[in-house]
Structure 1
Amino acid sequence: MMRIRRIDLSDARLFWDVQKQLDIESKFMMLEPDERRFDFSRTIGHISRFDFLIGADVEGKFVGFLSAKRGNANRIRNTAYVVVGIIEEFQHQGIGAQFFAELDRWAKEKEIKRLELTVMINNYAAIALFQKQGFTIEGVRRESMCVDGEFIDEFYMSKILD
């Protein structure tokens, strides 16, 4: 049974585990497989810095997460930057849609006007998910990521909430 729930400090190892698995199996996440080292206090620090952090929990193991971080300055407090990752085996099962439904509820409650994210232009499944959730492409971050020695562009995407 799968459930979507908030990730808190007691979930530090589970959260790190899902991030590490995503680093290993996906070339679409920020870190390469050997970059992430487990450091309990650092992981707790990461968790505590997010304004919103949820995971998809299957029998006590996270299989994906969505995080959002609001802008710190007053002029961008109404904007949140979003990161999402779902383990390959659990993709295309509606987890992403559930994540974004929870994100929308939180954003409305917190009076967030703008959600934003970046995605590699060759991550077709993620782009389709984001567009289905109301995100639009605003622009291109040219050669912003280097994956396997090749520079890749990213789309900058946003969703404006009413």
Structure 2
Amino acid sequence: MGLGPSPDCTDIRIEPIAAAHIESFHRTLDLVAREKKYLTLLEATPLPQTRDFVMGMIAKGNPQFVALTEDEVVGWCDISRHFFPSNAHRGRLGMGILPAYRGKGLGRKLIDTTLKAAQEAGFLRVELDVYEDNSRAIALYEKVGFVREGIFRRAARIDGRFINAIGMALVFEEDRPA
């Protein structure tokens, strides 16, 4: 992808995902998934399924943003609204960033943008699960207001190793600015 060894994040744009971003998003999702450290997926779903997911997110008005350098997706953050009407005020957050772009504040920009859009779209609660050994992500989530709600023991099994996950949530307060 020609992204270089130590990219400068000043030229990165954060935009709502669009159909034109799907193939690049799919490549980035696959690269992060294949690290086998951060996502439930161990590889991206086939491109047609990824396309259906993204187009569904757009159609439903679910917040999904991508970080772009030139026209390549280098990170994403999305919130999927729960399906059942009694849970429709809740959403599940997912995000990922290519390794070369981590630790530069991009995750904070992505999550802030996505949470603001979620609140504007009427979400009242955003949830996520994070592997307990992902201290960088946990620190980011706590900085933006997520609180730990519980531990999911043996939540994932990757290459024969069990990993616990921490359930976290952010509840938008009535007086919290969007």
TM-score (structure 2 length as normaliser): 0.84
Which 10-residue stretch deviates more, 19-28 or 50-59? 19-28
Identical residues among aligned pairs (%)? 25
Distance 2:44 2:13 in 1: 26
Aligned partner (choices 94, 100, 110) of residue 89 of structure 1: 100
What letter matches 1:122 in structure 2? Answer: D
Q: Deviations over 1:14-42 (max 9, x none)?
A: 1101101112335211222xx43543x32
Contact 1:141 1:156 in 2 (8 A): yes
Contact 2:74 2:98 in 1 (8 A): yes
Specify which structure has the higher proportion of strand.
1
Gaps of 5+ in 2: 1-10, 174-178
Aligned partner (choices 19, 22, 25) of residue 32 of structure 2: 22
What letter matches 1:70 in structure 2? Answer: R
- For these two proteins, the number of residue pairs brought into alignment is 159
Runs of 4+ residues over 2 Å off in structure 1: 35-39
TM-score (structure 1 length as normaliser): 0.92
Aligned partner (choices 45, 54, 74) of residue 47 of structure 1: 54
Gaps of 5+ in 1: none
Contact 1:25 1:88 in 2 (8 A): no
Distance 1:104 1:12 in 2: 21
Residue 24 (structure 2) pairs with residue 36 (structure 1): no
- Superposition map of 1:118-133 within 5 A: 118-133=129-144
